[in-house]
């Protein structure tokens, strides 16, 4: 299968500090790839680098097209839905407006309406809260809203930054179940960053383990999961 996302020798910097030292990986069309690693390994930075939210060097190709250095909003318009760390809710806007902002760039309004219905089917609770100020939602609901906002872009690729962060296990399970459905039904490829390695390896088909800004190992999710040495030394469980 063709690679949807190819990252080659990616370096990223926060001011003078280098956070990534030549990360390379690829993501297959329709697949779910997870980036694992300890705090500060560069997982979030990698997602930010793909969206030009940090200064980068190296090549990033989306469907064969180089996107390194392109403005964040233009990358998003090419079909990359980034669900950011901390959820990025527009707290003063209503749930409905949060979704409408994300559909703002789409020219095909009928498709946007269909995606809206799809979002409400995945997360019926958002429909019940449609006129509520988004800042008043619970953490889990805000995470659902963040995923929904990314979906409203009609993305080819979703970048998910720790969707389980700070949520109760039951909510996490539900969100991961729906992410699997989104991948299968809406045909959205996913790049998932997670602290919860066991959870991520269950969902993903490929895994890359990062350590201090470098890829230290990679493979099929099932293989990584069954390799006790990797689990113990890098994933801590």
Partner 1 sequence: MEQLIQQVGSGLANGAIYACVALALVMIFVSTDHINFAQGEMAMFSAYLTWQVIQWGVNFWLALPLVVLVSFVIGVAVERIILRPLHNAPVLSIVVIFIGLLAIFHSLAGAIWGHTIKVFDSPFPHITFAGSGYIGPHQIGMILVTIVLLLLLFAFFRLTPLGLAMRAAAQNPVSARLAGVRVDWMLALGWGLAAAIGAVAGSLVAPAVYLEPNMMASILLYGFAGALVGGISSPGGAVAGGFIVGVLENVIAYAGNLLEKSTGIYIIGNGEKLTVALIIVITVLTLKPSGLFGHVTVKRV
Does 90 bind partner 1 (CB under 8 A)? Our answer is yes
Minimum distance from residue 212 beta carbon to partner 1 (Å): 25
Note whether 33 binds partner 1 by CB under 8 A: no
In angstroms, rounded to a whole number, what is the distance separating the alpha carbons of residues 116 and 127? 10
Site string for partner 1, 48-77 (x = CB under 8 A): ---x-x-----------------xxx--xx
Among 17, 39, 92, 107, binds partner 1 (CB under 8 A): 92
Neighbour-count burial for 97-128, b at 16+ CB within 10 Å, e otherwise:
ebbeebbeebeeeeebeebbebbbebbeebee
Q: Which is nearer to partner 1, 39 or 92 (CB)?
A: 92
Member of 105, 173, 212, 226 binding partner 1 (CB under 8 A): 105
The three-state DSSP-derived secondary structure of 72-131 is: HHHHHHCCEEEECCCCCCCCCCEHHHHHHHHHCCCCCHHHHHHHHHHHHHHCHHHHHCCC
Residue whose C-alpha is closest to residue 32's, from 213, 172, 160, 216: 160
State the binding string over 132-161 for partner 1 (x if CB under 8 A, else -). Answer: -----------------xx--x--------
Judged by CB under 8 A, the residue of 34, 45, 89, 148 near partner 1 is: 89
Residue number with CB closer to partner 1 (41 or 112): 112
Long-range contacts of 108-116 (CB under 8 A, 24+ apart): 108/154, 111/154, 112/152, 112/154, 115/151, 115/152, 115/154, 116/152
Q: Using CB under 8 A, which of the segments 93-101, 173-181, 190-198, 214-222 binds partner 1?
A: 93-101
Kindly list the residues in this chain that would bind partner 1 in the complex (CB under 8 A).
Answer: 51, 53, 71-73, 76-77, 81-82, 84, 88-93, 97, 100-102, 104-105, 149-150, 153
């Amino acid at each position: 299968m063709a690679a949807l996302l190819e990252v080659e020798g990616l370096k990223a910097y926060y001011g003078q500090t280098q956070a990534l030292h030549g990360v390379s990986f690829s993501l297959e069309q329709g697949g779910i790839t997870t980036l694992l690693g300890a705090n500060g390994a560069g997982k979030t930075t990698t997602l930010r680098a793909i969206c030009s939210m940090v200064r980068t060097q190296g090549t990033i190709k989306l469907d064969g097209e180089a996107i390194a250095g392109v403005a964040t909003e233009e990358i998003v318009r090419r079909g990359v839905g980034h669900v950011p760390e901390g959820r990025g809710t527009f707290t003063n806007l209503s749930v409905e407006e949060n979704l409408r902002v994300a559909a703002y760039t789409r020219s095909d309004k009928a498709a946007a309406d269909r995606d809206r219905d799809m979002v409400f089917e995945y997360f019926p609770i958002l429909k019940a809260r449609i006129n509520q100020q988004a800042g008043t939602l619970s953490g889990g609901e805000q995470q659902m809203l963040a995923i929904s906002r990314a979906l409203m872009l009609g993305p080819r690729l979703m970048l998910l930054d720790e969707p389980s962060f700070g949520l109760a296990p039951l909510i996490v399970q539900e969100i991961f179940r729906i992410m699997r459905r989104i991948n299968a039904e809406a045909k959205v490829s996913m790049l998932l960053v997670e602290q919860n390695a066991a959870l991520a390896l269950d969902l993903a088909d490929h895994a890359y383990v990062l350590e201090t800004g470098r890829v230290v190992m990679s493979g099929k999710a099932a293989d990584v999961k069954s390799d006790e040495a990797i689990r113990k030394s890098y994933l801590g469980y």
